[in-house]
Amino acid sequence: MLYSIIIDVIFIILFYSKIKKLLERKRGRMKNSESKSKILSPKIPQNLNKLQIFDEKIEDEDCFCEGIIEDALIKNQVAEDITIKQSIFKNVIFEETSFEGMDISDVIFRNCDLSNVNLSRAIIHKAEIIDCKITGIDLSESTLRNVIFENCNAMYGFFRFSDCKQVSFRNCILSKADFQHSKLDKVEFSQSNLQQVQMSGTKLKGIDLSSADIEGIGVRVEDVYGAIISPLQTRVFSKLLGLKIK
């Protein structure tokens, strides 16, 4: 009898020991996954030169690095494939400007107005766009990696056919924006307004929409498979299936 009890106790200890190890491994994988999904911040030198280059005509393939532009107006500039690296834009207004194919890396835009700017085919890596007005911005066919949009007004933003990975929209207004036929990987829409945003043809598997306002979102049934939503949002997606919730 005593021998049987000892065997049972040993079995229980071994069982819980194994469960503990499995949980520790799972936590380790989760930590690794979190570290892999962490958005990389821009690396900008402490000492930056004040740039006045936008007072002159910008030519195709111009390159600007390690500079700061403050309280400036950039107007009537049209160029393709220009490069901006390790720079800061602060209180800058862009008007009637087109920079197709722009290469942006390690750049911060703060309190800027990029409304209706054409950045189609842009490549943006390690950038922060904070407290900016970007209504109607054209980022179609662009590639975004490690980009943060925070407290931005991006109504009518055009992101169609974009390729976004490690991108975070935080407390942004994206209503009536166009993300159709885009590729989203590790993209978050935290506390953002996605009312009437168009996402048809964009796979939302693994995309967390649970804290966003998605009223009137335009998607296909096959696009929402695997999306992360809150219980309150089921009503929005039930309409796609023709369901009525009592």
In this structure, what DSSP letter does residue 107 have? E
In a domain, 245, yes or no: no
pLDDT at 73 (0 to 100): 92
pLDDT at 38 (0 to 100): 87
Q: 93 and 21, same structural domain?
A: no
Number of domains in the chain: 2
pLDDT at 28 (0 to 100): 56
In a domain, 183, yes or no: yes
In a domain, 220, yes or no: yes
pTM value is: 0.82
Q: What is the pLDDT of residues 191-239, one digit of tens each?
A: 999 999 999 999 999 999 999 999 999 999 899 889 999 888 887 877 7
Q: Look at the alpha carbons of 156, 208, 131, 50 in this order and tell me if their dihedral is positive or negative.
A: negative
Query: CA 217, CA 74: separation in Å to the nearest integer?
Result: 34
Number of Cα atoms under 13 Å in the Cβ half of residue 204: 25
Q: What is the pLDDT of residues 138-188, one digit of tens each?
A: 999 999 999 999 999 999 999 999 999 999 999 999 999 999 999 999 999
Q: 214 and 127, same structural domain?
A: yes
pLDDT at 4 (0 to 100): 54
Q: 106 and 5, same structural domain?
A: no
State the DSSP H helix or E strand holding residue 7, giving kind and residue range, or none if neither.
Answer: helix 2-37
In a domain, 133, yes or no: yes
Q: How confident is the model at residue 54 (pLDDT cuts 50, 70, 90)?
A: low
* CATH classification at residue 142: 2.160.20.80
Amino acid at 154: A
Contacts (Cβ under 8 Å, ≥6 apart) of 195: 175, 176, 213, 214, 215, 216, 217
What φ, ψ does residue 36 adopt, rounded to 5°? -70, -35
Q: What is the pLDDT of residues 80-137, one digit of tens each?
A: 999 999 999 999 999 999 999 999 999 999 999 999 999 999 999 999 999 999 999 9
**Do 212 and 194 meet the contact criterion of CB atoms below 8 Å apart?**
yes
The alpha carbon of 52 is separated from its chain's Cα centroid by a whole number of angstroms, namely 30
Q: 100 and 15, same structural domain?
A: no
Q: 9 and 81, same structural domain?
A: no
In a domain, 43, yes or no: no
In a domain, 44, yes or no: no
Domain residue limits at 205: 50-238
Q: 208 and 178, same structural domain?
A: yes
Q: 32 and 54, same structural domain?
A: no
Q: 153 and 61, same structural domain?
A: yes
Q: 217 and 172, same structural domain?
A: yes
Q: 137 and 18, same structural domain?
A: no
In a domain, 45, yes or no: no
Query: CA 90, CA 68: separation in Å to the nearest integer?
Result: 8
Q: 129 and 86, same structural domain?
A: yes
In a domain, 62, yes or no: yes
Q: 197 and 138, same structural domain?
A: yes
Q: What is the pLDDT of residues 8-42, one digit of tens each?
A: 434 444 444 444 555 555 565 544 444 346 899 99
Query: CA 153, CA 129: separation in Å to the nearest integer?
Result: 11
